Amino acid sequence: MVTGLLPGCSKDTPSGPRIGSNSQIVADYESKRRAANAAVAEVKLRAAATDVDLGGGVINTWTYNGGLPGPLIRVKKGDVIRATIQNDLPADTAIHWHGIGLRNDMDGVPGLTQDPIKPGSSFTYEFAVPDSGTHWFHPHLGTQLERGLYAPLIVDDPTEKADYDIDTIVIFDDWLKGDPDATLAGLKKNGMGGMDMPGMDHGSMVMPQSDVLDGDAADVTSYQGMLANGRFPTAPVVVTCREGQRVRLRIINAAADTAFRVGVPGQKLNVTHTDGFAVQPVEGDAVLLGQGERIDAVVTVRGLTRVIGVGEGRSLYAQVILLPEGAQGPQEDLAMAQAVEKSTPLRLSDFVAAESVRLASKSPDVTHDLVLGGPGSNYEWTINGIAFDHAKPLEGALDFKPGQRVRLNYKNDTTMFHPMHLHGHTFQVVNNGKPGARKDTAIVLPKQTLTVDFDANNPGQWVTHCHNVYHGESGMMSVLSYVES
């Protein structure tokens, strides 16, 4: 932990012209990253309002290609993705490729890395995919993620040793009652305190609390239920398996305002990856996923096997069922969900990057502090005292040069946890001075500091922000900018 520095400043901060997303330097790095014979995956996406069956009623919401989740994109490490998105929404949009160390001008941050894609128009993203893992994509704009615009992006590494029989993607989400923009407007109008629906009386309402999150678990209480792969727990997705099969679960938290405690009752999870990067395998009864985080874990099919995610502080759950042929059982089991709710999840400090993906040992060239603050009287959430303004994104930007080892200290000065995400890079958590997990999103607990290191090997301008959609949209976002050496 670094002390004695002004928030956001570092005595070793470099200066020089900033490298924007349209810089030739960004294109040059992509040329080096992209092999001449790289396979190109052609993807067609359409964002539009569609009817979706959540297994508890059909609703009309915004989706990719009519599905919730949207369509899986699956490629190999080193491939190129060429994805054309047709925007048939009544609003601007863009796509952020969460977890991919891609070229900066394809990162999908309107106002910083591209112009928004207007209704009725299309845009083609094209980028090389340098790293394998369990990733996903979604808009980085307003509350659109909360409406259901998200989908998995799996990058396989053909050289990886596979110690499992099949893999299954499990995406957890929280499903709001009502309109996300009205919910955000209600939060801004009423400030803090869970007054999420205009006109609703929250006088006696207890806000969600979580022991493993050290306090407040959420800001919005008006959730209809939790979803796994787009379904409520009463009508879950059932994956047909064979008894005894080892299943690699690729678990993604796509929720806006909910952390999930995920477990498989009756057995341990053998965690192999955090945010797509290998860790030294570790076993636990459950894992905790903040918004935007992913975990890969191997389990064994033993009769009807439930993958359960309980929304922290909500007493609501969702599940995917692994079902051997011929096995039967109740679709719902509240006792099983309660067992997961009471289980002890692995902590961030339990994970250590595998040797193969560990950063070279090196002391930081530049250190930046990011003090997380809020909420203000109009529900502003801040980094270093600044609520991010899309009209002037570089206000408070933090600089470094290509090739530098950068250290970030996320200092949480609030009473709530924040799942902080960094675009375009996978950092390495610093655990009491020792190497921790490689991740791109990590929970910063209230009144705690999370220290992470990364190598500045992907020039451009990248946001780091809270992946609680309501916090990110209310200002908890900042730009990290490369400057020319």
What are residue 270's DSSP bridge partners?
Answer: 283, 298
Query: Is residue 145 involved in binding Cu ion (CB under 5 A)?
Result: no
Residue 250 identity (one-letter amino acid): R
Q: Print burial letters for 105-129: b (CB count within 10 Å at least 16), e (below 16).
A: bbbbbbebbbebbeeeeebebebbb
Query: Is residue 425 involved in binding Cu ion (CB under 5 A)?
Result: no
Query: Is residue 291 involved in binding Cu ion (CB under 5 A)?
Result: no
Query: Is residue 169 involved in binding Cu ion (CB under 5 A)?
Result: no
Q: Which of 445, 470, 412, 466 is CA-nearest to residue 190?
A: 470
Query: Is residue 411 involved in binding Cu ion (CB under 5 A)?
Result: no
Q: Which of 416, 376, 406 is CA-nearest to residue 480?
A: 406
- Which range in 22-30, 61-69, 100-108, 462-470 contacts Cu ion by CB under 5 A? 462-470
CB of 447 to Cu ion, least distance (A): 14
Residue-wise DSSP of 98-134: ET----GGGS--BTTTBPPBPTT-EEEEEEE----EE
Please state, in angstroms and rounded to a whole number, the distance separating the CA atoms of residues 214 and 416. 8
Cβ distance to Cu ion smaller for residue 213 or 479 = 213
Query: Is residue 469 involved in binding Cu ion (CB under 5 A)?
Result: no
Q: What angle do CA 330, 336, 342 make, to 5 degrees?
A: 170
Query: Is residue 471 involved in binding Cu ion (CB under 5 A)?
Result: yes
- Is residue 206 packed enough to be buried (19+ CB in 10 Å), middle (13-18) or exposed (0-12)? exposed
Query: Is residue 418 involved in binding Cu ion (CB under 5 A)?
Result: yes
CB of 414 to Cu ion, least distance (A): 8
CB of 381 to Cu ion, least distance (A): 6
- Which range in 226-234, 251-259, 275-283, 465-473 contacts Cu ion by CB under 5 A? 465-473
Cβ distance to Cu ion smaller for residue 381 or 400 = 381
CB of 396 to Cu ion, least distance (A): 17
| C-alpha pair distances (Å), 395 with each of 37, 454, 458 | 41, 22, 21
Cβ distance to Cu ion smaller for residue 320 or 476 = 476
CB of 440 to Cu ion, least distance (A): 16
Please count the residues of this chain forming the interface with Cu ion, following the rule CB under 5 A: 4
Both structure tokens of 259: 């952390």
- Which range in 45-53, 158-166, 415-423, 457-465 contacts Cu ion by CB under 5 A? 415-423
- Which range in 11-19, 45-53, 275-283, 458-466 contacts Cu ion by CB under 5 A? 458-466
Sheet containing 40-53, strands listed edge to edge, beginning at the edge strand earlier in sequence: 58-64, 40-53, 80-88, 122-128
Residue 425 identity (one-letter amino acid): H
Which of left, alpha, beta for 65 (phi over 0: left; psi -120 to 50: alpha)? Answer: left
CB of 297 to Cu ion, least distance (A): 25
Cβ distance to Cu ion smaller for residue 30 or 473 = 473
Query: Is residue 466 involved in binding Cu ion (CB under 5 A)?
Result: yes
Query: Is residue 147 involved in binding Cu ion (CB under 5 A)?
Result: no
CB of 258 to Cu ion, least distance (A): 12
Cβ distance to Cu ion smaller for residue 79 or 216 = 216
Candidate residues 409, 468, 474, 481; the one interacting with Cu ion per rule CB under 5 A: 468
- Which range in 131-139, 295-303, 389-397, 416-424 contacts Cu ion by CB under 5 A? 416-424
CB 12 within 8 A of CB 365: yes
CB 88 within 8 A of CB 48: yes
Give the footprint of Cu ion on this chain (CB under 5 A): 418, 466, 468, 471
